[in-house]
Structure 1
Amino acid sequence: MPSAHLSDRGVVRVYGEDAKSFLDGLITSDLDRVSPQAARLGALLTPQGKILFDFIVFEAPQDIGGGYYLDVMRVFAPDLAKRLGFYKLRAKITIEDRSDTLAVVAGWDTPKPADEAGLVAEDPRLPALGWRAIVAAEDAVEFAQGSAEDYHARRIALGVPEGGRDFLFGDAFPHEALMDQLHGVDFDKGCYVGQEVVSRMQHRGTARTRIVPAVYEGGFAAEVGVEVTAGEKTLGKTGTGAKGHGLIMIRLDRAADALAAGETIRAGGIPVALEKPAWINFPFPGEAAPQV
C-alpha cells in the first residue's frame, strides 16, 4: 500500500477575507470547483499565456482557519509567494510560504488517510494517481512506505507532466503541458491572467506542440532536455523518464509526418514508441484519420 513524502514539493498559503476572489482573478482554475473535499490543478500564467507556476489547490475548512494551500514545486514556492504579492494591492489577504512547516504526501492503490491527517483529496488530475495530502512536516515520515521516485515513475508511466520537470516555467502554454486534458484550465470561468491567449488556443485548436508519453526501447530513458528526432528533423525535447517510460515535448504534426513516412522517432538516440493514454482526447500522432 504505497505512499510517499514528496520532499520536492512546498506549500504556499493564501488566506483572508478576499482570498477566493483574489486567486480566482489570477489563476486558471475555478475556485467554485475547489472545496475541502476536492482539490484542483491550476497555474499562474504570464500575460502572454505561458505557465509561470503550476500547482494543486487545496481549500482548508473554516474550522481550521480556511484559506487556500497551493502545492507547488518547493524550490519555486518563495517565488510564487512573491509573485502573488505583486498582485495583492489592497486585497485583504495574507500570503505565506509554509514549506518549512507543511509537507506534501501522495498515495496510490491505498485508501486515503482520515481528514484529521491534514488536507486530503483525490488527485485532481487523474484518478489513477491516487490521493494527495498536505500534512504537518513532522508527520510526513508516516507516509514514507514508498519513495518519491516510485511516485514519479507512476506519474510518468501514466503520462502526467509536472512543471519544472517536464517543461520549463515561462516557456510552455497550458495546452502544451496537457493542463486542458488534466482539468487544470476551467474555460468557463471569469477572467484571469493570460486567459485571452489560452482561450484562443482552445477555440482555434492551435496547440501544435504537446507533451506526450513514450516508451523507450530497451527499458532505458534518455536524460532530460535532449533532442527528440526523426530522420534529420528535430521534433522536440525530452522531459523526465523512469523504468523505460518517458514524457517528451514534441511537435505533433512533425511526429505524425515521421510516422507516416516510416521513420523511427528517437529521444537522445534511443528509439521510442509514442503511447496514447485513454484520457488524452486530441488527435495523436500515428492514429488513423477519422472516417468521413
Structure 2
Amino acid sequence: MSSLRTAHLASRAVIAVSGPDWKSFLQGLLTQDVETIQPGELRFAALLTPQGKLLYDLFVAANPEEMGDGALLDVAAEHRDAILTRLSMYRLRAKVTLEPSDYKVIAAFGEPMDGGFADPRLPALGARAYGHCEAESAEADYEAWRLSLGVPGPADWGSEANYPIEADFDLLAGIDFKKGCFVGQETTSRMKRRGVIKNRMLPITFDGPAPAFGTEVLANGSLRAGEVLSGADGRAMAILRLDRIEDADLTAEGRPLKVDRPSWLT
C-alpha cells in the first residue's frame, strides 16, 4: 500500500512571474541563483533586508517548457501582498509582470513522487505541485513530517528576526554563495566566509507538550542558551547558541530537553 501523502498547504500562496526580464530581475534580489534554473525545477530562496536579515522565504518554480517562460513563486500566504509590494519597488524598468495566482500549493511526502517539483531542501521532504488539484491529508500532517526531519519553517524564523544562516538556509540549498550580488549579500557572505556562526535552529526533544514559543532555554540551570520556537508534543525547533549547548544539561520551563541534531545538519 502506498505511503505517499498529499497535503494542501493553505498557509502558502502563489505569485506568477513572467516577462523577458524575470530571471535577471529575481537574480539581483534573491539568495538563490535564478539565472541557471531549468524548466520544471524548484529552488529554495529568501528575500533579505539590506542588512542581511531574513525577511521572507520563497520557492521559485520554473515553468515546464510546455507552459512557456516564467515561474511561480511559492510564498507565505500572509505575506503575499507585502512580497508583491516589495518586488514591485525593485521592478523599475525591468520587463517583468508580477501577479497573484489562485493556484494551490500541494506538498507530496512520505515516499518518492512521480512528477511535481522535487523539494530542493531535502529529498525526504518530497515534492511540491501547483494548480487546482485536491489533497488527502491536512497541512498539520505535512508540518509534523517536516518537524520530524528537523527542518525549520516560516513559523520559526518570522520576519527580520534572524539571519538566513541561523535558519539553516545555507544547509538547505537556500543560498548560492557563488552567484554574485543580491540584497543582503554582503552580510550573508561575511558570516559564511568567517565561519563564525553563533546560533542555529535545531530540533529539540522533551516529554509532554511543547513549551510556549519564545520560552528560554537554559544551559546548566542558569546560562541562557536560546529559545524555543514552533513545536508539538515531544518535539520542537529552537534557536540555540552553539557554544553553550555542547555537553550541557538543557532545560526549558524547568523541564529537561535534548538536541536531536539531524544527519543533514553538519
Q: TM-score, normalised by structure 2?
A: 0.93
Among residues 171, 181, 187, which one is paired with 2:161 in the alignment? 171
User: Counterpart of 2:107?
Assistant: 106
User: Counterpart of 1:121?
Assistant: 117
User: Counterpart of 1:51?
Assistant: 54
1:80 counterpart = 2:96: no
Cα shift at 1:32: 3.8
Q: Is the 8 A contact 1:105 1:134 kept in 2?
A: yes
Task: Name the aligned partner's letter for residue 81 of structure 1.
Answer: L
SS in 2 for 1:87: helix
User: Counterpart of 1:9?
Assistant: 12
Among residues 198, 202, 220, which one is paired with 1:212 in the alignment? 202
1:242 counterpart = 2:243: no
How far apart in 2 are the matches of 1:208 and 1:159?
A: 19
How far apart in 1 are the matches of 2:43 and 2:199?
A: 24
1:251 counterpart = 2:241: yes
Q: Is the 8 A contact 1:5 1:104 kept in 2?
A: yes
Q: Which moved more, 1:231-240 or 1:30-39?
A: 30-39
Task: Name the aligned partner's letter for residue 250 of structure 1.
Answer: L
User: Counterpart of 2:252?
Assistant: 267
Cα shift at 1:168: 2.1
Task: Name the aligned partner's letter for residue 167 of structure 1.
Answer: W
Q: Let me know the Cα RMSD of the aligned residues.
A: 1.5
User: Counterpart of 1:40?
Assistant: 43
SS in 1 for 2:86: helix
Cα shift at 1:58: 0.4
Among residues 131, 138, 147, which one is paired with 1:147 in the alignment? 138
How far apart in 2 are the matches of 1:269 and 1:77?
A: 39
SS in 2 for 1:172: coil
Cα shift at 1:171: 1.5
Per-residue CA deviation, residues 247-289 of structure 1 (Å, 9 max, x unaligned), is 1001111222xx2xxx4212343321101111112xxxxxxxx
User: Counterpart of 1:224?
Assistant: 213
Cα shift at 1:223: 2.3
Task: Name the aligned partner's letter for residue 224 of structure 1.
Answer: F
Q: Is the 8 A contact 1:156 1:240 kept in 2?
A: no
SS in 1 for 2:26: helix
How far apart in 2 are the matches of 1:155 and 1:223?
A: 19
Cα shift at 1:65: 3.8
How far apart in 1 are the matches of 2:124 and 2:184?
A: 30
Q: TM-score, normalised by structure 1?
A: 0.85
Cα shift at 1:107: 1.1
User: Counterpart of 1:60?
Assistant: 63
How far apart in 2 are the matches of 1:84 and 1:265?
A: 42
User: Counterpart of 2:183?
Assistant: 193
Q: What are the ranges of 5 or more consecutive residues in structure 1 without an aligned counterpart?
A: 115-119, 282-292
How far apart in 2 are the matches of 1:107 and 1:178?
A: 22
Cα shift at 1:108: 1.1
Task: Name the aligned partner's letter for residue 120 of structure 2.
Answer: P
Among residues 7, 23, 27, which one is paired with 1:24 in the alignment? 27
Stretches of 4+ aligned residues off by more than 3 angstroms: none
Per-residue CA deviation, residues 127-178 of structure 1 (Å, 9 max, x unaligned), is 1111111113xx2xx22x2211111111111111112x01221111111000
How far apart in 1 are the matches of 2:35 and 2:172?
A: 17
How far apart in 2 are the matches of 1:221 and 1:113?
A: 35
Q: What are the ranges of 5 or more consecutive residues in structure 2 without an aligned counterpart?
A: none
Q: Is the 8 A contact 1:41 1:57 kept in 2?
A: yes
SS in 2 for 1:183: coil
